């Protein structure tokens, strides 16, 4: 298999590490293969690729999700730099509802994270000039684009940037807290 797949504490969220073949010229890596993912039990049809660039360390993006019928699985990797990636379980009735997992995803580690439907996703850049690439299983649907407040105390996320120094969009500063979020996903 060309990928090493491991589960995080919430087992639906997975770290995927593609093989990287290098020599004096550089390297080659198959970062996604539908066949290899299916062999690993991951049967998701990705329909769109996204690419984000964050100039400054401490840029927070999220916590974002789309509601059904446009809910998205996401496969996130970093082409340059590093992020702390966070997934929050929004599945009502789940034993891990409102809990989160996080992992450092970086170009140096050449790892990826799979965040399934039913989770809010966010990240903070750990290095300047960070580029994040991610595949999604549904198209962008503005009417279904939702968010969760990144620093909601109920989530107990230990972001590696002080609140006062976090660089956020205006939209991400005013997202609802978990207690005020309508139920969209069920376990």
* Residues with active-site annotation: 64, 134
Structure token pair of residue 45: 């049809």
List beta partners, residue 87: 101, 121
State the alpha helices, DSSP H only, in 50-187.
170-173
For 6, other C-beta atoms within 10 Å of its C-beta total: 11
Cα–Cα dist 47/143, whole Å: 18
Helix (H) or strand (E) holding 133: strand 130-136
Q: How far apart are CA 2 and CA 122, in angstroms?
A: 27
Three-state DSSP class for 154?
helix
């Amino acid at each position: 298999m060309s990928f090493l797949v491991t589960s995080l504490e919430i087992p639906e969220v997975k770290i995927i590490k593609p093989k990287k073949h290098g020599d004096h010229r550089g390297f080659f890596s198959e970062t996604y293969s539908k066949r290899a993912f299916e062999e690993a039990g991951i049967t998701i049809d990705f329909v769109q690729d996204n690419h984000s660039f964050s100039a400054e360390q401490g840029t927070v993006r999220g916590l974002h999700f789309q509601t059904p019928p446009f809910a998205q699985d996401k496969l996130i990797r970093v082409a340059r730099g590093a992020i702390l990636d966070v997934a929050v379980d929004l599945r009502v009735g789940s034993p891990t509802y409102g809990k989160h997992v996080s992992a450092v995803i970086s170009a140096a580690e050449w790892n990826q994270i799979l965040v399934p439907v039913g989770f809010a996703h966010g990240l903070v850049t750990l290095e300047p000039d960070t580029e994040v690439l991610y595949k999604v299983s549904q198209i962008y649907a503005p009417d279904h684009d939702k968010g969760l407040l990144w620093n909601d105390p109920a989530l107990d996320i230990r972001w590696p940037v002080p609140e006062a120094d976090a660089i956020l969009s205006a939209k991400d500063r005013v997202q609802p807290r978990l207690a005020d979020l309508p139920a969209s996903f069920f376990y």
